[in-house]
Amino acid sequence: MLRSRNVWLGLVALLALYLLPFWVSGYVLGLLTVAYYYSVAAMAWDLLFGFAGEVNFGPSFLVGLGAYTAAMLDHYEGTPIWLCLIAGAAMAVLGGAILAVPALRLRGPYFGLVTLVAVLLLQNLLVLFSGITGGEIGLDIPDVLSVDDRTNYFYALVFMTISGGLLLGLSRSTAGLILQASGQDATEAAALGFNVAKHKLAAFCISALFSGLAGGMLIFYLGTASVGTVVDISVGVQFIIAAVLGGRRTIVGAAIGSIFLIVAGEILRPLGELSTFVVSGIALIVILFFPGGFLGALRQRGG
């Protein structure tokens, strides 16, 4: 594997990212920080979809659970950040498990519907109990990871590197291959003796763990947690698009897609309101003509 050219390319790119702070302004770093957190959520989504074959329409359900748990603990109890993050991740895993129960009994679009309903439920609950959760206002968080943009950048980059590494490793492991098999043809996998349900449940929980962590870290970066930042369907949509754009079933593709989306949105900033339109348009064209996403297109060329 280490001999593959793509791997070397990837490592060089990663190194470049680590050296970036010496060359660019604080604002660009801030942009990339958010992109890295989104990447982790997108990569977690790719694990679930790309490998377990489950179309999760509500990745923001898991991210939101992690984010709000961490936020409320910090806001009301003043719990130290690392503890909030663990609690957030745990809550997200719990949520993921609960979501998995109906999921594993459903096929196709029904599962997607269930996940979508989960997001709507969470959103409505948060708004309904706005007295505690801050509702649409959002909850402000007394502690942030850091005020320095460079420190924040490295927190995010390291987080993304570790999460990405773990997720990638998982996807290539035996468990990952079984997952992939179950995703592509559940009946056959079951016939081969693998416990499909157990592996899919595991995929859910892992996806939830990383999503919840990403959500927690994101809000400790922004200093505020609001429905529009971590729960709204449009947020979840960004993760899905990032993963598909980058190349599904690659894990790394999701990270590339996330970074692309945020950077493109920024480059197109002079267009003002039309920037989202153009970025969505580009994403649409890419998936129409290069369904394998960026990495897929690269693979076709390079080998």
Partner 1 sequence: MLALQILITGFAISALYGRGAVGFTLIFGVSGVLNLSHGAIMVVAAVAAWASASFLGFGRYGGAAAGVLAGFLLSYATYFLVVRPIQNSRAIPRDEKEIFVLTGTLLWGIMIQEAVSYLFSNTPKTVLPLLPGVVGIFGVRTPANEIVTFAISWLVIGLLWLLVNRTRRGKTLIAAAMNPRGLTLLGFEMANIHRTVWAIYGVLAGIAGVLLGAFLGVSSDNVGTLTASAFSIVVLGGLGSVSGSLIAAYVVGYLETVTAYLVAPSVRSVPVLLLLVLVVYLRPQGLLGRR
Partner 2 sequence: MTDAPSRRLLPCAAVLAACAAVAAASASAAEPIRIGVIAEAASVAGASIPNAAQLAADEINAAGGVDGHPIEIVAYDNKSSAADSVRAFQRAVQQDHVAAVIASYISEVVLALEPWAGRLKTPLITPGAASDLITHRVHDDYDHLKYVFHGYLASTQIADAVCDAARDLLVGPLKMTTAVVLSEDAAWTIPLDAEYLNCLPKIGLKVLDHIRLAPDTADFTPVYNKIEDEKPDVIITGISHVGVQPTVQWAEQHVPIPMFGVASQATTSTFWKDTNGAANGVAFNMFSAADVAVTAKTIPFAAAFQKKYGVTPSYAGYTAYDEVYILADAFKRAGGTDADKVVTALEATDYVGTIGHIQYLGTDSPFTHGMRIGAGYISGLLVQWQDGKQVTVWPKDVAVGALSFPAFIKLPQ
- Residues at the site binding partner 1, with contacts judged by CB under 8 A: 49, 55, 101-102, 105-106, 108-110, 112-114, 116-117, 120-121, 124, 128, 184, 233-234, 237, 240-241, 244, 273-274, 276-277, 280-281, 283-284, 287-288, 290-292
Residue by residue, DSSP assigns 131-158 as HHH-TTT-EE-S--S-S-HHHHHHHHHH
Q: How many CB atoms lie within 10 A of CB 23?
A: 8
Distance, CA of 294 to CA of 42 (rounded, Å) = 15
Chosen from partner 1, partner 2, none, partner binding at 49 (C-beta under 5 to 8 Å by type): partner 1
Q: Is 248 helix (H, G, I), strand (E, B) or coil?
A: coil
290 Cβ partners below 8 Å, 6+ apart? 296, 297
**Binding residue for partner 2 (CB under 8 A) from 46, 54, 74, 149?**
149
Q: Are strands 224-225 and 139-140 parallel, antiparallel or unpaired?
A: antiparallel
**Binding residue for partner 2 (CB under 8 A) from 34, 197, 268, 287?**
34
Q: For the CB of residue 226, give the shortest distance to partner 2 in the complex, in Å.
A: 5
Binding characters for partner 2, 251-280, by CB under 8 A (x = yes): ---------------------xx--x----
Q: For the CB of residue 187, give the shortest distance to partner 1 in the complex, in Å.
A: 13
Structure tokens at 149: 């943009």
Chosen from partner 1, partner 2, none, partner binding at 144 (C-beta under 5 to 8 Å by type): partner 2
Residue 224 is classified by DSSP as E
Q: For the CB of residue 3, give the shortest distance to partner 1 in the complex, in Å.
A: 28
Distance, CA of 150 to CA of 280 (rounded, Å) = 30
Distance, CA of 286 to CA of 291 (rounded, Å) = 7
Q: For the CB of residue 26, give the shortest distance to partner 2 in the complex, in Å.
A: 4
Q: Which of residues 180-239 bind partner 2 (CB under 8 A)?
A: 222-224, 226, 228-229
Q: For the CB of residue 123, give the shortest distance to partner 2 in the complex, in Å.
A: 10
Shorter beta-carbon distance to partner 1: residue 49 or 155: 49
User: What ranges in the chain are assigned the alpha helix state H?
Assistant: 5-19, 26-46, 52, 59-72, 81-103, 109-128, 130-133, 149-172, 174-184, 186-191, 196-222, 227-230, 233-246, 252-267, 274-289, 293-302
Per CB under 8 A, which region of 80-88, 145-153, 164-172, 196-204 contacts partner 2? Answer: 145-153
- The reply to whether 18 sits near partner 2 by the rule CB under 8 A is no
Shorter beta-carbon distance to partner 1: residue 152 or 171: 171
Per CB under 8 A, which region of 59-67, 77-85, 136-144, 187-195 contacts partner 2? Answer: 136-144
- The reply to whether 163 sits near partner 2 by the rule CB under 8 A is no
Residue 25 · residue 203 · CB < 8 Å:
no
Q: For the CB of residue 64, give the shortest distance to partner 2 in the complex, in Å.
A: 13
Hunting for tokens 């998982």 — which residue is that? 170
Distance, CA of 164 to CA of 210 (rounded, Å) = 10
CA distances from 76 to 39, 126, 138, 141, 146 (A): 29, 16, 14, 9, 20
Shorter beta-carbon distance to partner 2: residue 87 or 222: 222
Could you list the residues that contact partner 2 (CB under 8 A)? 22, 25-28, 30-31, 34, 127, 130, 135-138, 140, 144, 147-150, 222-224, 226, 228-229, 272-273, 276
